[in-house]
Amino acid sequence: MSRRIRRLSPLVAALAAALATTPTLAAQEIDTLALRAHTRFLANDLLAGRGTGSPGARTAGLYIAAQLERMGISGAAEGGGYFQPVPLRAATIDRQATRVVVTRDGDVSGYRAGEDFIVDIGGRDAFRDFTGEALFAGTAGLARAALEGRPRLDGQVIVVVGPLGREAGTLLPDWVARGAEGVVLLIPEPDRFAAFARARGRERLFVAADVDAPVWQSPLPTLVAGPRLTAAILAGAPIASNALDGSQPFNALPLGREIAATIRTTTRPVDAANIAGLLPGSDPQRRREVVVYTAHLDHLGIGTPIDGDSIYNGFSDNAAGVAMVLAIADALRTAPPARSVLFLFLTGEEKGLLGSSYYAAEPLIPLDRTVAVINLDAGAPPAPPLDWHVAGGGTSTLGEIARRVGAAHGWTAEPSTASPNSDHWPFLRRGIPSIFLIPGQHWEGVDGDRKQALQHRWEHYHQPADHWARDFPLGGLRRYAELALAIGREVADAPDRPRMLEGAGPRP
């Protein structure tokens, strides 16, 4: 051994000792290089867009499980495995045999699936024929008030302008209970209808189990009408403009025409699974309780080509979310919090919250031991956000925790209402404090012109252009993960668990 090496040995030993006693917070930094590597793999063309149940999605699942195993985080599924099989089936719409007929004053007109309308997402009982009188209920925001005077909806097809959005969580269960025959959603804009049809594709996946998910797994058959069918349904009807734009309440209006839908499908089983890893808590008294991080691993797969590209890689949606949860797991494992943490990667979000709906119905850890859910599915901001929307935060004290944690970092995190638009929703319906963190539109060090340029370059929601790039600025994604990590640790170490606010949250 040289004299120089002998002189360095005490220094190396001192450095090793210092690293071994590094404070917890320093050990829990988010690894930006890991974010880059995870997203690069998951958004690669070889995974073909990670369509639900596809070989690419299964490859993504294997990658995630391998990463958890590398970290020493054990599987939370049966027998200590990482995979929770989800009983999915795919219904392929037969476009030749699926049709809609509108009858008005003896005049009959027919409309074709794929061109004039599409069959929307539904549960295992939704893909069936229906016939009824068209009853116009305005926009989703007006529909509840418009139908209040009708205790029963038997023999009626509810017609609504535009998607149901956040109102679906209350409207669909109510219409099912009141006996409606079906629903038609009107989208008269050609480009918007085309985008909607492109996102839905040819297949409709559903959970072949009782999951009690009335929004995305509704038993009520639902169609989305394009411009030509929309015109036929509304032609000659005395509808005031304020009923079409949602500006004023009104009473539901019978349109004086019958809508008859014939829906034909073929079904097949789909091989899909959720991935779950469990980090045991450090406190023997609280480790039976879990804080859950969720991110969906699927995307749209192969779809309609845009500029010659048909692979919908899903870098931002949601390879970014998966990468963040993996990075958070890697950070937390060095110093586990008091409560246990479940890292849950869900299948079928893009097809209707399928994996999360199944998990909430068949949880690997009982829901009464699940203290909070933190969902990451809002894309990769191309700059560090200064503000955040905490969707679902208005329904529980978890929203106030997020606000306080954000403020401690100099960021604004405002609780807001929940929508059935991501994987937090099935948990929230069951009374579990759940939030969906969404980056806001104020970015650190970015002025108006620069922000517009960044958005143009990087924001390609549900398009093939949403792919991995070496020069993507990862500072925003790192901050997103940092906020989620800080909120999760706060909840996992707190003496008391978050609680739902009285009358504030959606319930079954």
Average pLDDT over every residue of 467-496: 97
Average pLDDT over every residue of 175-197: 95
At residue 198, the pLDDT reads 78
Question: What average pLDDT does the structure give for the chain?
Answer: 91
Question: Alpha-carbon dihedral of residues 385, 482, 292, 378, nearest 10 degrees?
Answer: 20
Instruction: State how far the Cα of 335 lies from the Cα of 27, in Å rounded to an integer.
Output: 8
Asked whether the predicted pLDDT for residue 499 surpasses 50, the reply is yes
Average pLDDT over every residue of 173-200: 93
Lowest mean pLDDT among 58-72, 444-458, 487-501: 444-458
Asked whether the predicted pLDDT for residue 414 surpasses 70, the reply is yes
Query: Among the residues of 362-474, which ranges form H helices?
Result: 398-408, 425-429, 448-458
Average pLDDT over every residue of 484-501: 97
- Token readout for 60 is 């993504």
pLDDT band of residue 1 (cuts 50, 70, 90) is very low
- Top pLDDT among 458 and 22 is at 458
Asked whether the predicted pLDDT for residue 319 surpasses 80, the reply is yes
At residue 203, the pLDDT reads 87
pLDDT band of residue 507 (cuts 50, 70, 90) is low
Instruction: Using a pLDDT cut of 90, give the percent of the chain over it.
Output: 83
Average pLDDT over every residue of 351-367: 97
pLDDT band of residue 418 (cuts 50, 70, 90) is confident
Do 332 and 491 contact (CB within 8 A), yes or no?
no
Average pLDDT over every residue of 180-193: 97
Tell me the per-residue pLDDT of 151-177, one tens digit each, with 9 for 90 and over: 999 999 999 999 998 888 889 999 999
pLDDT band of residue 419 (cuts 50, 70, 90) is confident
Tell me the per-residue pLDDT of 7-18, one tens digit each, with 9 for 90 and over: 434 433 433 443
Do 393 and 483 contact (CB within 8 A), yes or no?
no
pLDDT band of residue 214 (cuts 50, 70, 90) is confident
At residue 72, the pLDDT reads 97
- Token readout for 397 is 């004290």
**CA-based Rg of the chain, rounded to a whole angstrom?**
25
At residue 241, the pLDDT reads 72
Q: Residues 447, 450, 455, CA angle at the centre, nearest 5°?
A: 115
> How far is the CA of 367 from the CAs of 346, 434, 448, 499, in angstroms?
16, 12, 44, 13
At residue 71, the pLDDT reads 97
Tell me the per-residue pLDDT of 65-113, one tens digit each, with 9 for 90 and over: 999 999 999 999 999 999 999 999 999 999 999 999 999 999 999 999 9
Instruction: State how far the Cα of 218 lies from the Cα of 206, in Å rounded to an integer.
Output: 10
Asked whether the predicted pLDDT for residue 433 surpasses 80, the reply is yes
Asked whether the predicted pLDDT for residue 132 surpasses 70, the reply is yes
Q: Indicate the pTM of the whole model.
A: 0.87
Task: Collect all residues with Cβ–Cβ distance below 8 Å to 329 and sequence separation of at least 6.
Answer: 68, 71, 73, 277, 279, 293, 341, 343
DSSP three-state, residue 394 = helix
Tell me the per-residue pLDDT of 216-231, one tens digit each, with 9 for 90 and over: 999 999 999 999 999 9
At residue 246, the pLDDT reads 66
pLDDT band of residue 3 (cuts 50, 70, 90) is very low
Bridge partners, residue 269, by sequence: 89
Burial group, residue 319, by CB count within 10 angstroms (0-12, 13-18, 19+): buried
At residue 28, the pLDDT reads 52
The DSSP call for residue 433 is -
Average pLDDT over every residue of 357-363: 98
Tell me the per-residue pLDDT of 245-273, one tens digit each, with 9 for 90 and over: 767 778 899 999 999 999 999 999 999 99
